[in-house]
Chain A
């Protein structure tokens, strides 16, 4: 009916215009020219974004490598050497271990809590809506603010020891303690909300129908969770795990604010060396940066390999 309306309303000229355009597009040489110009338009549209991202990524990594192997000293002659890597070998190794441990703990906890929250959210009803709302409100809070809030919450003068009536002297060192509890908690708090919303979006879009079918075929609740919901959520969980791991591995401010002075995670070590007044410390900071980048890339590659092995990956 709508079609007929349109046909009835259209003036005779419009049809002619339409026919003319079709003829023009069909004409071979003009078609080739159109494809060529479209390619140029694409390149022009992409150029500014690719130039900025490429400058920052390749420039940042490239100049870090160049500085770390002694080719760009602040003073003196450029000389190829690996001194910057060996100068703080011990601190580099402990920092690497510590950063890996913090990132692993935060990633695993965020994924477990986030997946639970996502399942609650997609179960629907009021409880799900409340959890969805509070986790969505957590997302835009900057990590630094989150760190300050966690400090006010669980430091020895924080709100929780006060409410529990435990004096500050008997409260365990969660902030700046040996187990980096406050750092992991802050990451887990922010990132579990991220996992919850990402996974909930995936579950709400395709899981509901499969879940109902499985229920109709007689699957119990536990089996549906084990064989339907979790496998369908797996790709989204892996993608968020990669993102969380790389972020927590290379992030500075939370570990600096809520951690202890020694040992230092890699980003904190790099910051201290970068700001130090010794002349050799800039290349050493660059060496820490290069190692952090290399580990991040390896983790991304491993994560992508894992993702390709999930049956749902298209």
Chain B
């Protein structure tokens, strides 16, 4: 569902427009209200992360104490002893494989859908969006019997189901990217003698690369955060990070280990998100296309 989120796009207005709106300058009462609501919202979004950070560094934290009674890294060593590293690797691999398959498939489908000439286009885009409306456990419970009889290995089954779950995100993101994409640049390159392959690598892909980065990020998230599909298809044999967190969280008294595992499950997507924010802005199509002409015309004009 995260596909609608404008990653790498500014959602807050510029300082200039805010200060120039004289009519809409806030009054003191409104300002105080806004500050209160904003700080309440900040607490609301940030609060659940506080126990994770505190428990990460806590060796002992007996019940009434407000802060950990003994600080240390026992949680880390305990998590490592319980197979955190291989689980992390498996989750990473799953996320990367899902992204590597779902991103090109989504881009190809979106390209076809935006260029038209697709028979039954509405039905096709409906099918591609449908995994979003279908609870994951339904698909798995229906298909396990098929996958078992066809002797599909567990990992392959998990990847197929996760790719289907990621396709709505990649297709939608790439449709947005292709809607803003001007085919004339590719046609121009072709008339100037570039081969189709050359046009794909040097013109087409560089123009849609922010969209590709976004959809790869979303597809990675699908594989990285999945619990239901991995546990049902893998039958508990494919131990990823979410499975490890679930098994510790279902018990009692593992708080430090849960915190360490949770933080290690949060950090990679956050790093990717920050990288995406930089990457998405570094290569904006508008600048890429208009920049050279705009800077050249003043010098060239007589």
Q: Which residues of A are in contact with B by a Cβ distance under 8 Å?
A: 1-2, 5, 14, 17-18, 21, 35, 38-39, 41-43, 45-46, 48-50, 52-57, 59-64, 67, 72, 113, 116-117, 120-125, 127-132, 134-153, 157-159, 162-163, 165, 167-168, 189, 192-194, 197-198, 200-201, 204, 208, 211-212, 215-216, 221, 236, 239-240, 243-244, 246-247, 249-253, 257, 267, 270-271, 274, 285-286, 289-290, 292-293, 296-297, 300
Contact = CB atoms under 8 A, between A and B. Distances in A.
Nearest to A37: B117
Contacts of B265: 141-142, 145
Contact of A257 (B30, B250, B255): B250
B192 A149 contact: no
Interface in B81-99: none
A45 B269 contact: no
A62 B269 CA distance: 34
Nearest to B276: A140
Most buried by B among A14, A136, A270, A285: A136
A39 B296 CA distance: 40
Most buried by A among B45, B46, B232, B246: B45
Nearest to A116: B37
B137 A271 contact: yes
Contacts of B286: none
A46 B52 contact: no
B48 interface: yes
A117 B139 CA distance: 34
A158 B130 CA distance: 39
Nearest to B47: A153
Interface string B97-113: 00000000110110111
B64 A167 contact: yes
A153 to B, nearest CB: 5
Contact of B246 (A59, A144, A149): A144
B189 interface: no
B45 A138 contact: yes
